[in-house]
Amino acid sequence: MKAKLILENGRVFEGEAFGYLQETVGEVVFNTGMTGYQEVLTDPSYYGQIVTMTYPLIGNYGLNVEDTESSSPKVRGFIVREACKDPNNFRCEMGLNDYLKNNKIVAIEKIDTRALTKVLRDSGTMKGIITLEENLSEDYIKEKLDAFSNKDAVSIVSTDKVYEIPGKGTHVAIMDFGIKTNILRSFKRRGCRMTVFPQDATYEEVMRVKPDLVFLSNGPGDPEDLTEIVKNVKKFIEAKQPIVGICLGHQLLAIALGGKTSRLKFGHRGCNHPVKDLEENRVYITTHNHGYYVSEMPADTKITHISMNDGTVEGMRHEVLPIYCVQFHPEACPGPKDVDYIFDKFLEVK
């Protein structure tokens, strides 16, 4: 069935729909990973977004129940150059089309994803509509795009109840802003006991379990929108509680400490981003998924990691307080595992 992607700047890309055949609206972004499409689909940080995969063939190794990063896909839509119809892998349990259809996610293929990526790089990330309709009025398109908002994304993807993951090591209190499953696995492999809290859990509720370490997770949206969470994080900081974080957690710490965040033109998304660890004096290949970054460092902090692509801040450590965090994803497995050591550094924060 024919389908169109209509961007808010007026550009239209035509292709064929697959997955669940329905109209969708979201923020159109691109991911440069050659593998890991299942992890991308189920990463809560992509909530509200229509994701374009720049690698031309997607779905060739199928999907399975083990490699998901959350309970279900979180994207609003999916865009590929070619969707593989006959996946071939010994771990394959389902094809891409059936997976998307079962989870009510619309996708579009046979469009020029290279041209689309260039538009997003030149003009910046923007809203878009995937539609099956031939003719939509300009008023209808504007109304749909204007109505789209991702401000409540964190509250939607966070857990709604406290739960525990047993372990005999460091007790980590995890603030779930849209946490990826492999972050929990990474702490579990190190023997950690974890208590996972909803995004709106208070300082008092968290400290009641007497954690050794507080972890602020990844998640979707603009950190500047999360004013109540920032107030909560400030209480941990004032109490000199050891705190670590990844991605959104890193940005929230920066804001709570007095720094600032800004929006990237088209974001960093993929599993092939070089980052330099200034403390180790080494460059690692890392996985990224963020549209915002720390643009102004807080006082009494030092940069620990920088992006080798554009020089943006990829990690920081407080020089007085027990605080350490990174922008990239050390747990990510669609590609490199170079930076898995970051979890060991997290557990050293005291």
Q: Which residues are tagged catalytic? A: 247, 329, 331
**SS3 category, 12:** strand
- Asked whether the beta carbons of 218 and 192 are under 8 A apart, the reply is no
Instruction: Give residue 100's identity as a one-letter amino acid code.
Output: L
Angle between helices 248-256 and 227-238 (to 10 degrees): 70
The DSSP result for 305-349, as a single string, is EEETTT--EEEEEESSSSEEEESSBTT--SS--TTTTHHHHHHT-
Which tokens is 105 given? 């996610």
Cα-Cα-Cα-Cα dihedral of 181, 185, 186, 189, to 10°? 180
Cα-Cα-Cα-Cα dihedral of 150, 152, 156, 161, to 10°? 160
The DSSP result for 150-167, as a single string, is -TTHHHHHS-SS-EEE--
Number of H helices, E strands in the chain: 10, 19
Q: What angle do CA 102, 218, 299 make, to 5 degrees?
A: 165
Start-to-end C-alpha separation, the chain: 57
**SS3 category, 277:** strand
- Annotate 276-301 with b (16+ C-beta within 10 A) or e (fewer): bbeeeeeebbbbbbbbbbbeebbeeb
- Asked whether the beta carbons of 326 and 349 are under 8 A apart, the reply is no
